[in-house]
Amino acid sequence: MANRPELLAPPEIFYDETEARKYTSSSRIVDIQAKLSERALELLALPEDGVPRFLLDIGCGSGLSGETISESGHHWLGLDISASMLNVAVEREVEGDLLLGDMGQGLGLRPGVIDGAISISAVQWLCNADKSSHEPRLRLKAFFGSLYRCLSRGARAVFQVYPENIKQRELILRQALQAGFGGGLVVDYPHSTKKRKEFLVLTCGSVQTSIQTGKSDCDEGCSEDDSSEDEESGMVSMSDRNRPKKRQKSSNKKGKSREWILRKKEQSRRKGNDVPADSKYTGRKRKSRF
Amino acid sequence: MRLITHNMLSCNIKGVTNGFPLRIEAGNVIKKEVDFNPDFIRHMFAKLEWKALVEGARSMGYAELPEDSPDAAVLESDESFLKKLHHALLELHLEEGALVCPETGRKFPVNKGIPNMLLHEDEV
């Protein structure tokens, strides 16, 4: 993406009357949105028993993704922060219910009522602080926390996201896991910069049974499922039993080692706290002149 | 906004513990026909808060639902009951009006069928 809309203005201001109309009248965007929502629904893996489900569409905009949900026979509830986008949705007579709301403020839905949630190109907006009161980490936390509560057991949530960089991706994923979700990232067409699409697939309260693989142009499964929660390094510490006790004591006195500090920082990071980045200076001793 | 959504919405203001159900102040209620699917109604029934639904339907001018939550057996056999529930859940739309938080009395206006659930900064 050459220019990212979330860097230009907050969503409720960027998607004004003209932008909302432009968005919905562009056949290219409509086509892309339909494809993305179809894929998201596929990843949602709803049971195929013919019973319609009640789904949540977060950042529904003008209801382009909602239309795909309606076509597959499900009912939906859409949430968006842009009133202009929702007005276009009303004009287009979408079948779902619409709510004007800010996902960063939490969803405000009763626990356990939603059968699944999708979101197309919306969650990355949460990574920006548009007001002085906004703190991306807390807004993501409020969003994922409230989403986890309102989903029923075993339900899934699929988010198509455009994270700006690795840090944003990590921030989103970490907050999702923090809220109690399981799951990870599914990448479609990982080797193409244009077609590459990332889907965050989260499960609520049950173990993931099937393994999703990203779509790919090559026939062999050259997809990658880079769920970073697997990266927890399985470090095993070795200690010599026969070492005399005295020597052990003296080595402990040296103070906190770099490894210890890194481990503690990682622990704190997993809790979702803000932790300074690791560098070559981490755990170094100050020079005596300080 | 339909009653199925109303049955799930609660007030999200910080510090509010009992933000459900939101009271409906109905201004304009319209009816739109939706295909009847008994399976979906049965599926949703387990998740409904019956009292909130009956009250909501009444404030929107529909009083055909029984006061007490019916048994599961009624759901299996009684088609006319399912149709009533279907009508209340999916076909009644609140176009203009407001939702009122039961605890704080905060009003969430509903315009063109869209409830405005945006919170002020001091409510987050």
Question: Per-residue pLDDT tens for A35-70?
Answer: 999 999 999 988 888 889 999 999 998 999 999 999
**Per-residue model confidence (pLDDT) at position B14:** 86
Lowest mean pLDDT among A3-7, A177-181, B28-32: A3-7
User: Is B40–A75 a contact, with Cβ atoms under 8 angstroms apart?
Assistant: yes
> Whole-number mean pLDDT of chain A?
82
In angstroms, the CA A76 to CA A41 distance is: 12
**Residue showing tokens 């309260």:** A205
pLDDT tens for A85-106 read 999 999 988 999 999 999 999 8
pLDDT at position A140, please? 92
CATH of B3-116 among 3.30.70.660, 3.30.2390.10, 1.10.645.10, 2.20.25.10? 2.20.25.10
Q: Note whether A109 and A99 are within 8 A (CB).
A: no
Query: In sequence order, what are the beta bridge partners of A54?
Result: A75
**Rounded distance between C-alpha atoms, residue A91 and residue A187, angstroms:** 34
Question: Beta-carbon neighbour count of residue A16 at 10 Å?
Answer: 15
Average pLDDT over residues A227-238: 47
Q: What is the pLDDT along chain B (124 residues), one digit of tens a residue?
A: 899 999 999 998 888 888 888 999 988 899 988 889 888 988 888 888 999 999 999 998 888 888 888 887 777 888 888 888 899 999 999 999 999 999 899 999 999 999 999 998 888 8
Q: Angle, nearest 10°, between helix axes A17-25 and A27-44?
A: 80
φ, ψ (nearest 5 deg) of residue B114: -110, 115
Mean pLDDT value across residues A223-250: 51
Structure confidence at residue A230 (pLDDT):
39
> Which tokens is A129 given?
């602080």
Q: Which residues of B touch A53 (CB under 8 A)?
A: 43
Cβ contacts below 8 Å, chain A against chain B, sum to: 82
Is the entire prediction scored with pTM above 0.90? no
ipTM at complex level: 0.90
Assigned CATH topology for domain A9-231: Rossmann fold (3.40.50)
CA atoms within 13 A on the CB side of A181: 32
Q: Chain A within 8 Å of B35 (Cβ-Cβ)?
A: no
Name chain B contacts of A86, Cβ cutoff 8 Å: 114
Structure confidence at residue A217 (pLDDT): 60
Q: Return the residue matching tokens 């690795």.
A: A166
Helix (H, G, I), strand (E, B) or coil at B92: strand
Pairing of strands A54-58, A75-80: parallel
Residue pLDDT, tens place only, A259-271: 999 999 999 999 8
* CA distance to partner chain A, nearest, from residue B108 (Å): 10
- The Cα A30–Cα A33 span in angstroms is 5
pLDDT of residue A219: 43
**What band does A248 get if pLDDT is binned at 50, 70 and 90?**
low
Tell me if A138 sits within 8 A of A179, measured CB to CB: no
CA quadruple A236, A240, A246, A251: dihedral positive or negative? negative
Domain boundaries, given as residue ranges, for chain B: 3-116
Nearest-angstrom CA–CA distance, A184 and A230: 9
DSSP-H helix ranges across chain A = 5-8, 11-14, 17-25, 27-44, 64-71, 83-91, 136-150, 166-178, 245-252, 258-270
To 10 degrees, what angle do helices A166-178 and A136-150 make? 40
Contact A144, A117 (CB under 8 A): no
Which residue's entry shows tokens 């980045």? Answer: A277
Selecting from B11, B37, B114 the residue whose C-beta is nearest the C-beta of A98 gives B114
Q: Is A136 helix (H, G, I), strand (E, B) or coil?
A: helix
Query: How many CB atoms sit inside 10 A of residue B6's CB?
Result: 27
> What pLDDT, on a 0 to 100 scale, did the predictor assign at position B93?
92
User: CB distance B5–A81 less than 8 Å?
Assistant: no
Q: What is the pLDDT of residue A163?
A: 84
What pLDDT score was predicted for residue B53?
A: 92
* d(CA B76, nearest CA chain A) in Å: 15
Element (H, E) at B115: strand B114-115
List the domain boundaries for chain A.
9-231, 234-290
- pLDDT of B72 reads 76
Look up residue A194 and give its two tokens: 């244009």
Count the Cβ atoms, other than its own, within 10 Å of residue A74: 22
Residue A37 to chain B, least CA–CA distance (Å) = 22
Kindly report the length of chain B.
124
Residue A199 has pLDDT above 50, yes or no: yes
Nearest to A97 among B5, B12, B47 (CB): B5
